Amino acid sequence: MSTTGDSGPTVRVTVGSYGHRGGPDEGRRVSSSEAVFDRARGAANDAVVRETGPTGIDRLEPLVLCSLDGRTTYHANCGGARARRIVETLESGRLPVDDATAVVEHDEDAETLPTPSEGPLSVGRRRILERCGWVTASEVPDPLPVTDPETVRERVSDVGILGRGRGDAHRDESVGDAWETARETEGDPVVVVNANDRDQRNRADSLLLESDPASVVEGAALAADAVGATDVVVYATDADLPRRRVREAADALLEAGRIESRPEVVAGPDRYIAGEPTMALEALEGSERIEARLRPPSTAVHGLYGRPTLVHTPRTFAQVRAALANPERFSADDADPGTRLLSVTGDVDAPATVELPTGGSLSAVRDAVGFEGSPKMVVVGGQFGGVTRHLDHAASSSALDAANLGTEGIVELFDDDKCAVATAGKRARFARDENCGRCAPCREGSKQLVGMLRDVYDGDYDDDMLRELARTMRATSTCDFGRTAGRTIDTAIDAFEREFLAHADGRCPAGECEEVSA
């Protein structure tokens, strides 16, 4: 059962895979979140000390939250000695407010993070993220008002939830339609939670597994019931923490009678391509050579071992559960109902994962990472995201797609010393080196992209040929790796053509290319 409501002094320490801060001696770790938790727990007598997941704002970590009588104090960048003093103050019956980053008043039985009115945690709407930083892995959310399969299918279909993230087999497509296809297809359905995203810029899925795994696991179990699946597989990275917390959440949900069986938790290969939905299935089947599968048929028709398979990201399953728990927050009239999780990185002091309404502007993400002014260049959509000069774009999938920007949930902010040509070149080389090799448009096209960008440095800039190559790869590649590999180049030319022309004349306006070439 849920134990988030506290009647006495409570200390929460956010412990996650990210957020550790190095010291002056070449990155020596001064204080890790684990060490802070141990010091806080060692100092406690009457106070309850809990290990929660991170909030998603790395520059606050390690973060200690102290709660007493409906008030919570925030203590950012907290070391072990400071954590001990904070606990001692709380043990004396006083809330430690003197050096607090923020003080928030809330209901004593609050089940979600009481967020400050200012600062990075106030950015956007914390709905999918509302429990992150507040609950332990074994604290299950309140029971849902509806759980019977037919009603779940109807609600998900009526709301019109779209798949989210690179690892979702139905990204930006109707989840309800995929479920109906899987349910009607002959065979024994299976559900895969695809959390094996090796792009370190994407923090959203790992954040959910570390901070609110119960919502993800229950969302996957509801999907399984809705399509008649008996198996749920969590396909994650080889990091121990998220997999351990998924297991803890599953045990708690089993004990509470909320799920009928434990999901199988599997670590995927340490390769970027292994996060692509069909290549994830290849990895799960133990294939020695991981290659993209042709689609159609969709994974909902022919997936894991030929079975009808739902492949969704943790973000998607969390949205599903949220739509069932709080239907008033979702409007079927929206082209992209719900919210979008965005991991913000680039030339920032520390990354952050924020949640924006789909109709909100991406410009809000600057406040989460403390990026002052306007960035020179923004890449939206991950490894092969689109390049833009500004953040005045809505967060919805339709708006991002219309602007030729990616919907994978990553926003990279770059300042004036970043070169658009070098950025395009690095990502073209990644496409050449990391593609699975199955289809010629991607395998050979990525080589040609690198060669044509190298030619720019030699004075031969042919924008029409670059654009045509990107268009051909987009139209003929087997999977999204090849389809999107040319997007960064295509959009970089649109936004920064003068930089391409300058490089053809032998100079780099940003100064980055003295040692870097395509």
Domain ends where: 279, 298, 328?
Answer: 328
What pLDDT sits at residue 278?
97
What pLDDT sits at residue 74?
98
Average pLDDT over residues 471-499: 96
- 198 and 276 fall within a common domain: yes
Whole-number Å distance between alpha carbons of 79 and 40: 10
Is residue 16 within 8 Å of residue 211, measured between CB atoms? yes
Q: CATH number of the domain that 110 lies in?
A: 3.40.30.10
Whole-number Å distance between alpha carbons of 208 and 3: 19
Could you give the strand order of the β-sheet that contains 64-68, starting from the edge strand earlier in sequence?
48-52, 10-14, 64-68, 71-75, 102-105
Q: Is it the case that residue 21 has pLDDT exceeding 80?
A: no
Percent of residues, the chain, with pLDDT higher than 70: 95
Q: Helix 213-227 crosses helix 314-325 at what angle (to 10 degrees)?
A: 80
Per-residue confidence band for 518, with pLDDT thresholds at 50, 70 and 90: very low
Q: CATH number of the domain that 211 lies in?
A: 3.40.50.11540
Q: Is it the case that residue 8 has pLDDT exceeding 90?
A: no
- 156 and 296 fall within a common domain: yes
- 369 and 280 fall within a common domain: no
By three-state DSSP, how is residue 263 classified?
Answer: coil
CA–CA–CA angle 16, 22, 28 (5° rounding): 115
Give domain status of residue 334, yes or no. Answer: no
What pLDDT sits at residue 373?
84
Q: Is it the case that residue 173 has pLDDT exceeding 80?
A: yes
Is residue 73 within 8 Å of residue 95, measured between CB atoms? yes
Give domain status of residue 344, yes or no. Answer: yes
What pLDDT sits at residue 20?
40
**DSSP character for 403?**
T
Give domain status of residue 126, yes or no. Answer: no
> Average per-residue pLDDT in the chain?
93
Q: Is it the case that residue 226 has pLDDT exceeding 50?
A: yes
What pLDDT sits at residue 25?
32
pLDDT tens-digit series, residues 196-219: 999 999 999 999 999 999 999 999
By three-state DSSP, how is residue 412 classified?
Answer: strand
Per-residue confidence band for 32, with pLDDT thresholds at 50, 70 and 90: confident
The boundaries of the domain holding residue 181 are 149-328
Average pLDDT over residues 69-76: 96
Predicted TM-score (pTM) of the model is 0.94
Domain ends where: 362, 393, 414?
Answer: 414
User: How many domains are there within the chain?
Assistant: 4
- 393 and 465 fall within a common domain: no
Is residue 123 within 8 Å of residue 343, measured between CB atoms? no
What pLDDT sits at residue 18?
66
Q: Looking at per-residue confidence, does 34 or 132 come out higher?
A: 132
Give domain status of residue 132, yes or no. Answer: no
Q: Is it the case that residue 19 has pLDDT exceeding 80?
A: no
- 358 and 436 fall within a common domain: no
Two structure tokens written together for 8: 């006495």
pLDDT tens-digit series, residues 435-473: 999 999 999 999 999 999 999 999 999 999 999 999 999
Whole-number Å distance between alpha carbons of 414 and 419: 9
- 197 and 299 fall within a common domain: yes
Is residue 168 within 8 Å of residue 312, measured between CB atoms? yes
Give domain status of residue 139, yes or no. Answer: no
Instruction: Find the farthest-apart pair of alpha carbons in the chain and give their distance in angstroms, rounded.
Output: 73
Q: For the chain, how are helix, strand and coil distributed in percent, rounded to 5? A: 40, 15, 45
Give domain status of residue 5, yes or no. Answer: no
pLDDT tens-digit series, residues 333-358: 898 999 999 999 999 999 999 999 99
- 178 and 66 fall within a common domain: no
What pLDDT sits at residue 27?
30
CA distances to 25, 62, 83, 132, 438 from 80, in Å = 19, 10, 5, 22, 51
Per-residue confidence band for 5, with pLDDT thresholds at 50, 70 and 90: low
- 65 and 115 fall within a common domain: yes
Q: Is it the case that residue 238 has pLDDT exceeding 60?
A: yes
Average pLDDT over residues 325-330: 94
pLDDT tens-digit series, residues 159-171: 999 999 999 999 9
Strand partners, 29: 22
- 225 and 113 fall within a common domain: no
What pLDDT sits at residue 42?
92
What pLDDT sits at residue 159?
94
Q: CATH number of the domain that 390 lies in?
A: 3.10.20.600
Residue 294 has a CB neighbour count (10 Å cut-off) of 11
Give domain status of residue 129, yes or no. Answer: no
What pLDDT sits at residue 75?
97
- 405 and 424 fall within a common domain: no
Q: Is it the case that residue 23 has pLDDT exceeding 80?
A: no
Q: Looking at per-residue confidence, does 2 or 329 come out higher?
A: 329
Of 285, 194, 174, 283, the C-alpha closest to 234 is 194
Of 72, 67, 77, the C-alpha closest to 14 is 77
- 313 and 360 fall within a common domain: no
- 97 and 159 fall within a common domain: no
pLDDT tens-digit series, residues 43-60: 999 999 999 999 999 999
